[in-house]
Structure 1
Amino acid sequence: MCVIVCFPFFFSLAQGSIPEPHDFLRLMKQKIFSLGVVQTEGGKVEGKSYRMGLFRTVEVFKGIPFADVPGKWEKPKPHPGWSGILKATKYRDRCLQVTLLQTKTQGSEDCLYLNIFVPQGRSVSSGLPVMVYLFGGAFLLGASNDVAILGDSLYDGKEMADRGNVIVVTVNYRVGTLGFLSTGDDRMPGNYGLWDQHAAISWVRRNIQAFGGSPYNLTIFGQSAGAASVSYQMLSPYSKGLFRRAITQCGVALSPWALQRKPMALTKKIARKVGCSRSNEDEMITCLKMSDPVGLTMVTSVTFRPSAGVVMDLLELGPVIDGDFVPDEPSRLFHNAAEFDYLAGVNSMDGHIFAGVDVPSINMRNATTVDEVKSVLTGLTRDKGAAAAASAFSAYSSIWGSFPEQDVVKKTVSDIETDFLFLVPTQIALQLHANNSSGARTYSYLFNMKTRIPGFPRWVEAEHAEDLQYLFGKPFSTPLVYFPRHRDLAGYMIAYWTNFARTGSNGTGLAYSKYTALSFYVDYWTKTYSSLPVTRGEEAVNQPSL
């Protein structure tokens, strides 16, 4: 960017004509273009411009409604619109949810809003690629403006918009009980949060041209539960022609935590907690619909107790197979994603934070025992019984040797959860996309910058969600807490992601390959483990071999 912006000045020096001071001041004061008041389908909006550099600003529109206040367990409805000019300069409430400490609730039922970040230079932007971000948070919490870092949201899109010359959109959607509770049938089909996301993407498609974006060059991207959401949007028949590309970071619809297979059982459990337990299911549902939204939200809090089994067991609310938005097993829906270019990857230690809850000793000085490793595998492979756990332990301990060092044993626990919860499902999704593609491209990545979280052992690499600070340019916006290598990484990530959004290529030529993307453990889970029989009487889901 500097070469392009500064070239006229350097050219004048080469010609021996140094600009006078007043000429330079005139250049500095030259008009920076902006959209001003923008007409949307609901009414007029006006944002605020933020200076990013010489002749560069980002125009930010916060809190634009993309749907009306949703009814309880109803699909989103079109917004009725407004009169006058909406001053879109403040974020709106997040959707009703538990706080991070889960001691109370925050947010509102009036929450279906989005934010738009538009880069501007010496002419009004037009025809820009558009990137729509879906936040993560276990389908329980999160917001389009989540986690303030020195004043700015983690998902503040200014740096990505400016450095990548793309429009960034961040979106709210319902989470927790109000977003994902389901009876597994037409009475409360579920997936309301997914419908919210679909409504937001559709709104962007219809309105983004007025903000200088191309409605025909939309990329959706997300992390963790937001990545699984992107995956579901790709696989849904309702998305045909809606967007062009998709990026999933650390999660896919095939992840074992991303699908609720027993929705009615969960709904009955929640009904008991709020005093709506009834022998008649219709009466139970009526009672739930009359219940206080705050009380319904509080019962979804997750208490991380060592005795509760593996963390995955506690993450119960999420998308369901509803026969509509998600009409079948996710693994059988990749024909719907054939037209979307796809980039997917994981962090090298995505599972570490979960492994640290299941086996706290991995982050402590005291020893991690063989029994603790086996216990994690028993919890993860419970559907296939003791033989599966023994098989998996044999695979993961095969590199230990006779007297394994403690760091090796501890790291193994992290690797197990990373592979099972994130890496393997992502590799399967990549292969299914490549197999079903009708000309669309498939790319894979691995993010492995060493963790910046203090207090963790030396062997810990990229923790879950640590990629986001770089993608959203925090090393540039808050430079004092980062080193030059972090700014280099942030620059590369923004370039890779925005190049992909612009052209469908990541700029490196490194496409996904089933031969180079695999590890020994991916091969184990997708072939050896997947061939073992289910022993708990549950319907077996055929996972394809890679």
Structure 2
Amino acid sequence: MLKLFLVLFLVSLVNVNAKRPIVEISNGKIRGEIMFTPNNRSFYAFRGIPYAKPPLDDLRFQPPQRLDDWEGVLDSDAKDRMCVQTTSNLMPNEGEDCLYIHVYTPKLPTKKQKVSLPVMYVIHGGAFVLGTPTPAMLGPHYLMDYDIVIVSVGYRLGFLGFLATEDLNCPGNNGFKDQQFGLRWVQENIHKFGGDRRRVTIFGESAGAASVGYQLLGSNAKGLFNGAIMNSGSSLVNWSLQRNPKKIAYRFAKHIDPRIDENNTSTSELMKFFRTLKVQTIKTACTELFGEGLLSLHYRTLAGFLFAGTIEPEHEGAFLTKAPYQMLLKGDFNVVPTMLGVTSEESLFLGNDLTMEGRMVHYNKNPEHLVLPSMHVTDPDSIKKAGQTIKDLYEPSGSLDLSRALSIKYFSDTTFDRPVMKQAEMQSKYTDVFLYMFGYSGEMGKNSLSSHVPGAEKVVHAEDMMYLFSSVESKDIYSFRSQDRKTMKRMLTLWSNFVKYRNPTPKRLEILENVIWPRIRSLDMIPYLHINDTLKVKHNYKKKMMDVYKHLYDTYAEQSLDVY
């Protein structure tokens, strides 16, 4: 009996191993695994595939480099690898060797059967300093029921990904260049996983959405994708562009070694110094300068994150050499159908901010500080008038600091809504653009950012993501009420339809209440899909706010805009 049991056990092990798929890509063979959707449908996962050389030693701060081939079958040990985060402590699976891609597919091609499914290329968010492409943050399980291939990419973050010196010693944007290099990997390899390289949609949320916006602008990205989705971000958000990267670089160095400054250290010497730093030294300096946690990061948004995109000097291999606003204005971008939108109260997480009242007292006394530097208003009288106009937009009859809800609305508008709306307007002159507002407040969407503030809207930043991707915060979907599950099905249908057809509603469907979501055709009547208990097409989201700011920019801006 024992012998029979051992034989059966060994046979079962052989069968399990036999089920694990092996795919041969351009660099060698990779072994995958089998995972399951909440509806118990199996799919194939190939996690931790290296797509570039590890950016170590002399390759630190260099653009991504083509990977060497490997022998045998790679069973990756980098399935949960993450790039260096701006947090105090170094985690076991965190490091500079982090340029890995994850591929998930419901079907694999065989000698007898060709498979060619549309591809969603996912760029994670996290303020350019946090986040991971792994299932802990971006689980593909829900979307695998919708017959698309999911690819998520790891890219360098913070100091290691976005340091720039305003010259060729470190032009910058290496995080964006990693993302683009991953797109080239997709073009070369995705057919081996059943994906169609001619149908690639880039997707991102928050800083991932801003990244998608920058990939639209990327001078070397033509032909790498033919659709784009931006949840809660764009290339016009103020926080996505650092206008003084060289100053930040020296400030960072001086924080570590007070003897360093621009007068005694060249940028070439600066980069040599930076290449000697240990990762923990970098992390410590970053958290001391940048802060740790979402609220600390959010304080930097009005002036631009310390480490973000930058305008590079002209050179071969440059990613961005012109201002985002000017490129969109001239149609100088990768013209592809685009879907984008916001949640009903993006900055609702500030309801958890104990310093909020004090900050708004300051703004109330100094309304000129409501005028962002990126508005390019320098005349003192003009700044004062513009600031008062902004204050009156939110609270014409009293003190802004007396209403946390109104204060949050200012930050929602300034940090997310206005630039997203403007990107939709500007792109719509050249291509199909579908705009949405996600206002459904369900238990499934609640996350660590959620808050309740009387008078504010109910859906915070990233709640829409809970209906699209599983994460460490996700629960059993069948534990939620039916309306949550219906909303989830609607979201998955709309987003996967766009990936498949470049149109979220190519035909009327009962699950979508037979709604057809129109693209933007006229700036006089801008349609958007209001996603709530029901789906409704509405027009001119936050028109009053957009009109006020258009007047301010037209009246007071003293030079060409870079963002909005």
The residue correspondences of 1:60-209 to structure 2 (distance < 5 A) are: 60-70=45-55, 71-88=59-76, 91-99=79-87, 102-104=88-90, 107-120=94-107, 126-145=115-134, 153-162=136-145, 164-209=146-191
TM-superposition CA deviations, 1:234-253 (whole Å, max 9, x none): 11110111111011111111
Which residue is 1:446 aligned to? 437
Contact 1:181 1:267 in 2 (8 A): yes
Q: Secondary structure at the match of 1:443?
A: strand
Q: State the AA in 1 paired with 2:346.
A: D
Structure 1 residue 34 displacement after superposition = 7.8
Q: Please, which moves more after superposition, 190-199 or 505-514?
A: 505-514
TM-superposition CA deviations, 1:350-375 (whole Å, max 9, x none): 1233576485349xxxxx97655565
Structure 1 residue 313 displacement after superposition = 3.9
The residue correspondences of 1:385-534 to structure 2 (distance < 5 A) are: 387-388=382-383, 390-397=385-392, 400=395, 402=397, 409-435=403-429, 437=430, 440-450=431-441, 452=446, 456-458=452-454, 459-472=456-469, 478-479=476-477, 482-507=480-505, 508-512=516-520, 513-514=522-523, 515-516=525-526, 517-518=540-541, 519-533=543-557
Structure 1 residue 524 displacement after superposition = 1.4
TM-superposition CA deviations, 1:298-321 (whole Å, max 9, x none): 322223799x97653472110110
- How far, CA to CA, are the matches of 2:518 and 2:307 in structure 1? 36
Q: Secondary structure at the match of 1:153?
A: helix
Q: State the AA in 2 paired with 1:56.
A: R
Q: Secondary structure at the match of 1:64?
A: strand
Determine which of 317, 340, 347 is the counterpart of 2:307. Answer: 317
Structure 1 residue 395 displacement after superposition = 4.7
Q: State the AA in 1 paired with 2:160.
A: L
Structure 1 residue 426 displacement after superposition = 1.3
Would the alpha carbon gap of residues 389 and 449 (structure 1) be closer, same or farther in structure 2, given more than 3 Å must change?
A: farther
Contact 2:164 2:172 in 1 (8 A): yes
Which residue is 1:384 aligned to? 377
Q: Secondary structure at the match of 1:130?
A: strand
Contact 1:34 1:59 in 2 (8 A): no
Contact 1:311 1:354 in 2 (8 A): no
Whether 1:542 aligns to 2:539 is no
Structure 1 residue 476 displacement after superposition = 8.8
- How far, CA to CA, are the matches of 2:552 and 2:321 in structure 1? 29
TM-superposition CA deviations, 1:146-196 (whole Å, max 9, x none): xxxxxx52301121122x210011110000111000101111111110111
Would the alpha carbon gap of residues 392 and 372 (structure 1) be closer, same or farther in structure 2, given more than 3 Å must change?
A: closer
Determine which of 274, 282, 298 is the counterpart of 1:288. Answer: 274
Structure 1 residue 405 displacement after superposition = 11
- How far, CA to CA, are the matches of 2:299 and 2:496 in structure 1? 40
Contact 1:97 1:175 in 2 (8 A): yes
- How far, CA to CA, are the matches of 2:260 and 2:275 in structure 1? 13
Which residue is 1:332 aligned to? 326
Q: Which runs of 5+ in 1 are unaligned?
A: 1-32, 146-151, 363-367, 535-539
Q: Secondary structure at the match of 1:461?
A: coil
Q: Secondary structure at the match of 1:110?
A: coil
Which residue is 1:12 aligned to? none
- How far, CA to CA, are the matches of 1:422 and 1:338 in structure 2? 22
Structure 1 residue 89 displacement after superposition = 7.9
Contact 1:60 1:89 in 2 (8 A): no
TM-superposition CA deviations, 1:113-169 (whole Å, max 9, x none): 011111149996711000010011111111102xxxxxx52301121122x210011
Q: Secondary structure at the match of 2:171?
A: coil
- How far, CA to CA, are the matches of 1:103 and 1:317 in structure 2? 19
- How far, CA to CA, are the matches of 1:87 and 1:465 in structure 2? 33
Q: State the AA in 1 paired with 2:277.
A: S
Instruction: Say what the alpha-carbon RMSD is for the aligned residues.
Output: 3.3
Contact 2:210 2:240 in 1 (8 A): yes
Structure 1 residue 91 displacement after superposition = 1.3
Q: State the AA in 1 paired with 2:48.
A: G
Would the alpha carbon gap of residues 274 and 234 (structure 1) be closer, same or farther in structure 2, given more than 3 Å must change?
A: same
Q: Secondary structure at the match of 2:486?
A: helix
Q: State the AA in 1 paired with 2:176.
A: L
Would the alpha carbon gap of residues 268 and 486 (structure 1) be closer, same or farther in structure 2, given more than 3 Å must change?
A: same
Whether 1:214 aligns to 2:211 is no
- How far, CA to CA, are the matches of 2:334 and 2:419 in structure 1? 18
Which residue is 2:536 aligned to? none
- How far, CA to CA, are the matches of 1:54 and 1:418 in structure 2? 36
- How far, CA to CA, are the matches of 2:164 and 2:360 in structure 1? 40
Would the alpha carbon gap of residues 369 and 184 (structure 1) be closer, same or farther in structure 2, given more than 3 Å must change?
A: closer
Q: Secondary structure at the match of 1:83?
A: coil
Which residue is 2:208 aligned to? 226
Q: State the AA in 2 paired with 1:130.
A: V
Structure 1 residue 85 displacement after superposition = 1.2
Would the alpha carbon gap of residues 341 and 126 (structure 1) be closer, same or farther in structure 2, given more than 3 Å must change?
A: same
Contact 1:95 1:109 in 2 (8 A): yes
Aligned length: 489
- How far, CA to CA, are the matches of 1:116 and 1:131 in structure 2? 10
- How far, CA to CA, are the matches of 1:429 and 1:259 in structure 2? 15
Structure 1 residue 457 displacement after superposition = 2.4
Contact 2:345 2:459 in 1 (8 A): yes
Contact 1:228 1:251 in 2 (8 A): yes
Q: State the AA in 1 paired with 2:115.
A: S
Q: State the AA in 2 paired with 1:531.
A: T
- How far, CA to CA, are the matches of 1:389 and 1:359 in structure 2? 24
Structure 1 residue 460 displacement after superposition = 4.1
Q: Secondary structure at the match of 1:98?
A: coil
TM-superposition CA deviations, 1:326-349 (whole Å, max 9, x none): 021112223343531111111221
Contact 2:301 2:415 in 1 (8 A): no
Structure 1 residue 51 displacement after superposition = 3.6
Q: State the AA in 2 paired with 1:114.
A: I
Q: Secondary structure at the match of 1:154?
A: helix
Contact 1:63 1:88 in 2 (8 A): yes
TM-superposition CA deviations, 1:475-500 (whole Å, max 9, x none): 99622653322211111111111101
